[in-house]
A and B are shown apart, each in its own frame.
Chain A
Amino acid sequence: MSQPESALADAQAGGRAPESLAALAERYGLRRAIARPSMPAYLRQLWDRRHFILTYATSRSVSKYSESALGQLWQVLTPLLNAAVYFLMFGIILGQSKNIEHYPAFLITGVMVFTFTQRTVTGGAKSISSNLSLIRALHFPRAALPLAYTIQELQQLAWSMGVLILFVLATVQKITWLWLLIPVPLLMQLVFNIGMSLFMARIGAFVRDMNQLLPFILRAWLYASGVFYSITERTADQPEILRWVLEFNPAAAYIEFMRDLLIYERFPERWAWVTCLFWAVFALVGGFWYFWRSEERYGRG
């Protein structure tokens, strides 16, 4: 076998005494290539890549609709059509509107808010597993991918919110000072979504069947989140604990918060603030930590 000899010859080429390659590496300050950076270093790297994250998100949005004739118009058409279908189904055909004031607005608000989380979770779960070639070719903090997917959904949300606000204006016909607070629940939900997409990114990267299973989980979550019905009303004759559990669901909390501001002219109650904030912080910290723990394993067979 010739390679150990030749390596030794290499090491001796500069006229040095024979030494192990590890010692040689040590002497010249060379380091092993594989290592997970510490959390602060990781955050710094991620911040350095902010331009990549933004450009990647925008590029994905642009390329997503580039094949269709209407192009970027679909960013508005998708939420509009979504709202129309749900309104037709649950507002007119199944008819739930009698007990809930402003039911169409109630419904569409729920759909739009839930869709934001739903799409971010779906995107996050795919963000690592469908970008393996990118991960195997370039060095960057892998959290950039789920973050980019979340930002892409945020851009989509801006259009959805526009549609939603027009819809509420048309049906409820009232604007209040509370509307100024609309960015607040959105920001908390965004933070929650970032955490969720990081969490799901790691799951999706290693649990290969997750992408098949996820639609069912998300649909169950949708039905549990009071999008089509009012949790308070439905749990009126049920034990208190059930209502409490349902209302602690983060999706339900963000939806209720938005409905209070947008439709019912109510300043959200204290529990709503606490729940929304708790989930945002908990998901972000937990999701980030969970994702970072596997940083060096993404993209490895």
Chain B
Amino acid sequence: MDLLWQSTTPLAATDVRDELAGDPAITTVLTVLGRLETKGFLTRDRRRRPHLFRATLSRDDYMAELMHEVLGSSPDREAVLARFIGRASKTEADHLRKLLGA
């Protein structure tokens, strides 16, 4: 996933395999890419052969979504995850706003 985040152009499965350490089998790489696509993290261009993969959103976008869930003050979140400090504090809220660029 990091490879596709770093890459400026969409990658084919063979490109991904070549970049990965340990020389994994192409079927393994395709399985993982397919799984990431099912979860919505990757988008696959099926018009081309071989299929090209690119990240649906940037790493920062996902990080912002994650931190929003962690630091958001909605009581709904409380049941999803147990934080060391229960509710979002002012500093965290300020920080979150900075992170989210708002």
A and B are partners in one complex rather than unrelated chains = no
Using CB atoms and an 8 Å cutoff, list the residues of chain A in contact with chain B: none
